[in-house]
A and B are shown apart, each in its own frame.
Chain A
């Protein structure tokens, strides 16, 4: 009598790969968006070949992310390139148009400063309430950057902070570079009970900055506190007060953008210091996309909380099947979750939204990136570059 031996069925490892039939539409959307936008009249000053290259890139990146089921590598490539190329364009433009990358009092009075989205939260209230523009730039520049940011915020939520923002790549880079100890832990860990309190820092900072902007009509964050000035518009130092500013900026910059992220593997500025974060998070509530945890698949291993560079997913949020509203939709937790329990979903439903989110995020981030490449190409050809952000 022969006994039948049941052959064990090889269990396929869980995967977030999108089948081909669900890949085609997002790829078409992302390619069509990039083609349409790089062909728009405002974008046509550059070399048409750059447009073609970006359309091909949109195709390649969207297919890669959806078919491989991995977001992180391709996103990092786009995001870090955005930071690098934006910085190059910014510094070249300032050198050409105002003679230096440093920002002096005199330049402020004559040519102004380029406005950045980080200022929106405290520049808009005095502008809207009593018509006072407290940042040395034009109202038009402030409004156009606001409209751009609101558009992306409504669509992708805090996805702006992991796919498009030109300042975010700095702490992203150093947090990524930071070494790990055994068990994948960073050299310095931020205890969760600290994070629960620190999480509200940007909200308090924004409230404070709005109050000061309304009462004193001063953008004191830009003048005194912004760590980003380590790289963008560092102050020209001639007086004692400017030395003090430099000390504050260098200390905060090294702490929040370089050394801190390196040690903690957390994007410290983008988690605890950016005044745009609260607005990003709040506007993001209207975005159709969410990052959700499938509780049936989740084994509560805690890996997602350990790897999230924004501390936006914690055992507490996992237990509720989601993330904190500060989630930047970066995809790191999804890639690392052994159960593949985390994914992009549509708001208010459990419908998978990976294809739609990736198509839009890739298209718009590549579009921004193409504008910097165009700027550099124009500079290469003509030796000129238009001033940045209304300066």
Chain B
């Protein structure tokens, strides 16, 4: 239960980053084609389904890896620290304008156009993209205690982040306005600093 709550909270609290990382690709993908409200909702549901599938598979794998590593072990803590450092770097690079290419590297931006025609595949791939919240979830799920726990954690994380993504998709991204973009950027910079300190501490002191 605690794990679910933790995943949900993490999703809820980092969901705005999800918006920043994937929405620029997600929104155009959803806007192509003339659909009514029902058609649009169906596409959103497919994208969300693909994303959830990716999260479940990845969560289970990460949870299993965590068990193999013995939760609480020094190696696992160090791995968590490295993930945090990576997160800090990705986030800082993204915010410094080295941008979309780094933060959403694998899929969000570089997807071939045809993927947009299969919304679930698009959702699946965005689910695997190395965006900052995903890295943070990964760091937490490593200590979840098993594949089932890892999958559950990621399912809850999905629910949290989806809450932000879904209502904002039809509206377009908040990032269209300068103020929220700047606020997000500042919060992200501070978060990058914090993750760097925490990650470094975890790597050095584990």
Binding site for B on A (CB under 8 A): 129-130, 197, 200-201, 203-205, 207-208, 210-212, 214-215, 220
Contacts and interface: CB of A to CB of B under 8 A. Distances in A.
Nearest to B191: A208
Given A130-B5, A212-B194, A204 B182 contact: yes
Contacts of B16: 207
Interface in B161-188: 179, 182-188
B13 A208 contact: no
Contact of B186 (A130, A204, A214, A220): A204
B9 interface: yes
Contacts of B188: 204
B190 A208 contact: yes
B187 A205 contact: yes
B10 interface: yes
Given A130-B5, A220-B194, A204 B184 contact: yes
B183 A207 contact: yes
A215 B183 contact: no
A125 to B, nearest CB: 9
Given A203-B179, A220-B194, 12 more contacts: A197-B182, A204-B184, A204-B187, A205-B190, A207-B183, A207-B184, A208-B187, A211-B187, A211-B191, A212-B194, A214-B12, A215-B14
Contacts of A207: 16, 183-184, 186-187
A203 B183 contact: yes
Nearest to A214: B13
Contact of B9 (A201, A205, A208, A214): A214
Given A130-B5, A212-B194, A204 B183 contact: yes
B14 A208 contact: no
B191 to A, nearest CB: 6
Contacts, number: 49
Contacts of A200: 179, 182-183, 186
Nearest to A212: B194
A205 B183 CA distance: 8
Contacts of B184: 204, 207
B205 to A, nearest CB: 12
Contacts of A130: 5, 9
Interface string B47-59: 0000000000000
Contacts of A203: 179, 183, 186
29 contacts: A130-B5, A130-B9, A200-B179, A200-B183, A201-B186, A204-B182, A204-B184, A204-B186, A204-B190, A205-B186, A205-B187, A205-B190, A207-B16, A207-B183, A207-B184, A207-B187, A208-B187, A208-B190, A208-B191, A211-B13, A211-B14, A211-B187, A211-B191, A214-B9, A214-B12, A214-B13, A215-B9, A215-B13, A220-B194
Contacts of A212: 191, 194
Contacts of B182: 197, 200, 204
Contacts of A204: 182-190
A169 to B, nearest CB: 27
Contacts of B186: 200-201, 203-205, 207-208
A130 B4 CA distance: 13
Contacts of B187: 204-205, 207-208, 211
A129 B191 CA distance: 21
A201 B186 CA distance: 6
Nearest to A211: B13
A200 B178 CA distance: 10
Nearest to A197: B182
B146 to A, nearest CB: 22
A90 to B, nearest CB: 28
A24 B179 CA distance: 44
Contacts of B13: 210-211, 214-215
